[in-house]
Amino acid sequence: MPAQILISSCLMGMPVRYDGGSKRCLHPVLTRWQDEGRLLWLCPESEGGLPTPRPPAEITSGASGAGVLLGQARVLDSEGSDVSAAFVRGAEAAVKAALAAGIRVAVLKEGSPSCGSAWIADGSFTGVRVAREGVTAAGLKAVGVQVFSENQLDEAAACLAEIERMSVASAESSQQRSTLR
């Protein structure tokens, strides 16, 4: 089976965003990966038990997803409810799925308090961005998954190609060693 890639469900057109919509991405790299049967898609916030639609949520005070995982920061929705536990459950589900499938590369929706990897909102619900990552992106990075956004699909493809090249080289090296014994 080819190496799998974990991807945000909303990028695959699934209507799982807080507003009930999706963010379908039609980049040719994604189309190729889908044709090759490589994509495993998941919505951390749905996995964490949140309904769709739901109020938008942000990590408080410009903190990062790693802080939420450590219990040092919270995720609040726009109505003031603390949804941190659901976000952590979603991250744990994504990590579990990635580890079970041997996933080394993920493509997650930029800007989301779960999936953002280069930036997220600052917690003020005013549209201000901070250079932090979301809760699931942080959880995946912590277990060694390379996380990219939909804006970095060529970089993600190059990373996957390098991982597969190293894997083939390692397998060939092992085979040579066992032949010489």
Binding site for ligand SF4 (CB under 6 A): 8-10, 16-17, 43-45, 109, 112, 114-115
Q: Tell me how far apart the alpha carbons of residues 90 and 50 are, in angstroms, rounded to a whole number.
A: 9
The SS3 assignment for 73 reads coil
Least separation in angstroms between residue 22's CB and ligand SF4 is: 8
Least separation in angstroms between residue 57's CB and ligand SF4 is: 9
Report the DSSP beta bridge partners of residue 130.
Answer: 120
Least separation in angstroms between residue 126's CB and ligand SF4 is: 19
Nearer to ligand SF4, 104 or 109 (CB): 109
Q: Tell me how far apart the alpha carbons of residues 181 and 177 are, in angstroms, rounded to a whole number.
A: 7
Nearer to ligand SF4, 131 or 169 (CB): 131
Least separation in angstroms between residue 50's CB and ligand SF4 is: 8
Question: Hey, what are 151's tokens?
Answer: 């804006």
Nearest of 86, 172, 46, 68 to residue 123 by alpha carbon: 68
Least separation in angstroms between residue 159's CB and ligand SF4 is: 20
Nearer to ligand SF4, 85 or 166 (CB): 85
Question: Hey, what are 145's tokens?
Answer: 């998954």
Q: Tell me how far apart the alpha carbons of residues 120 and 175 are, in angstroms, rounded to a whole number.
A: 45
Q: Tell me how far apart the alpha carbons of residues 130 and 120 are, in angstroms, rounded to a whole number.
A: 6
Nearer to ligand SF4, 22 or 146 (CB): 22
Nearer to ligand SF4, 63 or 86 (CB): 86
